[in-house]
Structure 1
Amino acid sequence: MTIAKVRTPLTDPEKVFHYTDLQRTKPTRENDPYDYMPGWGNRHQSEVIPGTLPAGQNNPQANRYGLYTEGITYSAFAAPRQVNKSTYMYRARPSAAHGGYNKIESRAHLENCFLSCNPSVQTFPGLAEWRPFPLPPADEPTDFVDGLHTLAGSGDPNLRQGLALYVYMLNASMPGRAFCNIDGDFLFCPQTGILDFQTEMGKLLVQPGEIVVIPRGVRFSVNLANGQKAARGYITEVWGAMWELPDLGPLGGHGLANPRDFLHPVAYIDEDLHRPFEIVNKSNGKYVAIKQDHSPYDVVAWQGNVVPYKYDLTKFSSQNATSVDHTDPSVNTVLTAKSHDPHTPLADFIWFGPRWDVASNTFRPPYFHRNSASEFLACLYGKGLGRDEGFLPGGASFDGGHTPHGGFGDEYINEMQLQVNEPRKILENQMTIMVESSRTLLFTDYARHGCGTLEKAADPKAWDKLPDRFSSHPGIKQLLQRVRDDKAAAAERLAFYHEGGIAGPPLPAA
């Protein structure tokens, strides 16, 4: 008689093979206190007070409770329906009630002009690797505004084309302060520390292993969740494009990041709406701020599709080779941002997490390669992917386009000798993300010098780890000589037909 094995739910999201190991009946982790609306590409609606949203129209002559109508458009007014983005908000006071724009001082290192004419940014000719970026000292309060640092990018937000990569390090919340990115969409990827996002549309709790996207023009505050002393993570910003789900092609209707797993906030308003606020705007890569005497988080109801959303990367439904050969990393794309070239994305946000490896008679790790894309990798937790034995969480690495690269770790090098054909779980208890772009990335002075954690441009021991086994192979010199002899003999045989062989019969006389 077979005895059923009791399945015990796991409790640590960083130790699961997949989110389903938690055996949760809710779509959120246990420590997430908020409610969300699931789906992708929807026009959601939400109300703090039921019945606040006007029925049958967007801008009534008089809203309930004396609220003001305020619209936010993301796309051109006449954009096709499938890409037309807008949201209507019904709020206590309109955002237009403010005291004007002024420049502010900040300890952030921002750069958004990634054109060759800008002497402040340069390419990395090859490879680069950073140790964990430094968290701010406890005696130096640093919020998101001051803790944002640009690492690299391509293009310019003024042209509505390109992208930028950032790292944020903070140890303070943003009471009385909000942020608005006028340039592009922010994709946050926390590495350490749980963040409590407050946005005009509601609240989202985001922790390592999750991502959150804040659309261009939406105001938000980045706060430390209860019990958190500091936080660090990465941001990918896209200009002139929006994050989308990749097409699935032959996979069919399901797989990779499934639409139902994206979660949107529900309406929420501050208890005290009458307090001073500073709204910091990032416009063309520069900070300007406006001051107002009321909270920006006074939206009692909203409806539309310009809405922040979050996604738990442990829910990713990975696909892979089930017979032979290594699948390209594009099969792990969570979100993609299109470029003007329909065949080449501006950026792909890619997941490398726990999965089965089952390919037979195959060198299973990524083979040594020279991709056309620029690749920025960051380890969120565990033993991350890298050229060595795995770089530390909080660090990052970069491989430039057409730069030869691959793993130099012992496990990687010894894979050929292991001859493993048995199914195995790989990348357990870790998560690594990669931002892959068709653009050539230019790096800021902060990334090259200011952060103080740039470790190396290449592995100086690569020659030792990658010996030339071909030249020392037994009998290889004799084989090469045999090849030369065979080629010479073949050339001699062919010369007979081209250099004076038997002449054919003469042509008949005219």
Structure 2
Amino acid sequence: MTRTHTATDLRYLAGFGNHHVTEAIPGALPPGRNSPQRAPLGLYAEQLSGTAFTAPRNTNRRTWVYRLVPSAAHGKFIPIASGSVRAAPLREVPLDPNRLRWDPMPFPPGEADFVDGLFTIGANGDVEAQTGVAIHQYAASKSMVDRYFVDADGEMLLVPEAGALLLRTELGILHVKPGEIAVVPRGIRWRVELPDGRARGYVLENYGAMLTLPELGPIGANGLANHRDFLAPEAAFEDVTGAVEVVQKYGGTLWSAEYDHSPLDVVAWHGNYTPYKYDLANFMVVGTVSFDHPDPSIYTVLTSPSEVPGTANADFVIFAPRWLVGENTFRPPWYHRNIMTEYMGLVHGVYDAKAEGFLPGGASLHNSFTSHGPDEATYRQASTRALVPQKIDDTLAFMFETRLPLRLTSAAASAAHLQPNYDAVWHGITKNFSS
């Protein structure tokens, strides 16, 4: 077997949804025609379409690739054990109205790569109808070697919590560390290396409309996430001879096929259907400078729209370092019940709405119309403290928010790291009413 990595690993083309043009070897891109009679350098031209051919120009996503071997050159996929990976519709356990919280997911006792280390928390919608989401966590202790992954069900938004990920994709290389995110579109083949030896984090698998930047409305032209800070890879390819495995997630289950070449053999490409990464430190937080706590939607980084205007199939929201300066107001999130389902994770630090028990690598789930809010200790402190300007620093929490209730997998509902007494954080709340 020979393996070569061509092109500098970590150079990027800036932009989000923009048309990119990149080649690992000069002259690999054909001039003027997407599919000439013979592509340069003996390559094969192939189009990868992320939307229907006739989608409007501003939402159409497709990329032309020029590769060593057509992606059609492989044998039959056969079903394999899916481990802890599941998809919607789920019917393993009843829909749970309880508030739920998990400790950090433990690393596997033996070696496990990214695919082996996927653990599905829950899902909603229907993978075949292309609506809803699945939420996973991963804990991996081994790089993928001669093994590749492709998700035909949805795009994957990766949120590393511990350990960096080196994503080698068909269209190039992304190095993603905690504090950054990456998105790999449906149908893109990739593998995961672990520069730090092991890694853990969160995954939003989006079955619905592709993630995009939210509209800014009255905020205006600037604020939140900027187009220019989303980074797409430059072309880099593998020239591999010998047997490799490609694992495909299709219809919620895993399938495997043997290839005699690496599927990451794209020498050049142009288009706007591409993996990308984003440094969350570049997010421009907007908040109140008068009174009241703003809705968490003001912290939306990416959104998957639905057919209902203003109601997302899924949102990715972050709670990043920021100043709190609201006067005569309760600064943490208020007590609330929300039609949207909220799954929260913590990358590092402490979340300002919980005193203890919510740890980096852990998670909480408050399903649709489930009552929640600050615990008793946080309420007591926030309702009596002096309201001087306060910096929330050294923290990064996030939320996957979705319009449908999330149904758990049986594994998540019975996991050893599911906290049995989460409700106790509200037990100390007393009646303060006086007429």
In which range does the TM-score fall when normalised by the shorter chain? over 0.9
TM-score by length of structure 1 reads 0.82
Contact 1:130 1:455 (8 Å CA) reproduced: yes
Contact 2:245 2:257 (8 Å CA) reproduced: yes
Specify which of 131, 141, 148 is matched with residue 103 of structure 2: 131
- Listed as ranges, the matches of 1:110-509 within 5 Å are 110-114=85-89, 118=91, 120-137=92-109, 140-225=110-195, 228-270=196-238, 272-385=239-352, 387-389=354-356, 391-408=358-375, 410-420=377-387, 422-426=388-392, 428-449=393-414, 451-456=415-420, 458-460=422-424, 462-464=426-428, 466-470=429-433, 473=434, 476=435
* Partner-residue secondary structure (3-state), 1:418: coil
Cα distance between partner residues in 2 of 1:142 and 1:386: 34
State the 1:387 CA deviation: 4.0
Contact 2:122 2:135 (8 Å CA) reproduced: yes
Cα distance between partner residues in 2 of 1:416 and 1:382: 22
Contact 2:337 2:370 (8 Å CA) reproduced: yes
Aligned to 2:4: none
Contact 2:87 2:127 (8 Å CA) reproduced: yes
Instruction: Answer 1 or 2: which has greater strand percent.
Output: 2
- Per-residue CA deviations over 1:333-352 (Å, capped at 9, x if unaligned) read 00000112123111110000
Which residue identity does 1:109 align to in structure 2? S
Contact 1:42 1:305 (8 Å CA) reproduced: yes
Task: Provide closer, same or farther for how the CA distance between residues 313 and 257 of structure 1 changes in structure 2, counting only shifts above 3 A.
Answer: same
Specify which of 26, 49, 52 is matched with residue 76 of structure 1: 52
Cα distance between partner residues in 2 of 1:280 and 1:105: 11
Task: Provide closer, same or farther for how the CA distance between residues 188 and 145 of structure 1 changes in structure 2, counting only shifts above 3 A.
Answer: same
Which residue identity does 1:290 align to in structure 2? A
Please identify the structure whose Cα radius of gyration is greater.
1
Task: Provide closer, same or farther for how the CA distance between residues 102 and 50 of structure 1 changes in structure 2, counting only shifts above 3 A.
Answer: same
Cα distance between partner residues in 1 of 2:162 and 2:382: 32
Cα distance between partner residues in 1 of 2:259 and 2:308: 42
Cα distance between partner residues in 1 of 2:373 and 2:420: 15
- Per-residue CA deviations over 1:152-195 (Å, capped at 9, x if unaligned) read 11111111111110011110011101100001110000110111
TM-score by length of structure 2 reads 0.95
Aligned to 1:480: none
* Partner-residue secondary structure (3-state), 2:142: coil
* Partner-residue secondary structure (3-state), 2:298: helix
Cα distance between partner residues in 1 of 2:60 and 2:117: 33
Instruction: Answer 1 or 2: which has greater helix percent.
Output: 1
- Per-residue CA deviations over 1:48-105 (Å, capped at 9, x if unaligned) read 1122111111000011110011111111111111111111110111111112111223
Aligned to 2:5: none
Which residue identity does 1:372 align to in structure 2? I
Which residue identity does 2:185 align to in structure 1? P
* Partner-residue secondary structure (3-state), 2:400: strand
Cα distance between partner residues in 2 of 1:440 and 1:373: 7
Cα distance between partner residues in 1 of 2:182 and 2:425: 39
Taking only the aligned residue pairs, the percentage that are identical comes to: 43
Higher RCO structure, 1 or 2 (CA under 8 Å, sep 6+): 2
Cα distance between partner residues in 2 of 1:250 and 1:342: 16
* Partner-residue secondary structure (3-state), 2:241: coil
Once superposed, what is the RMSD of the aligned Cα atoms?
1.5
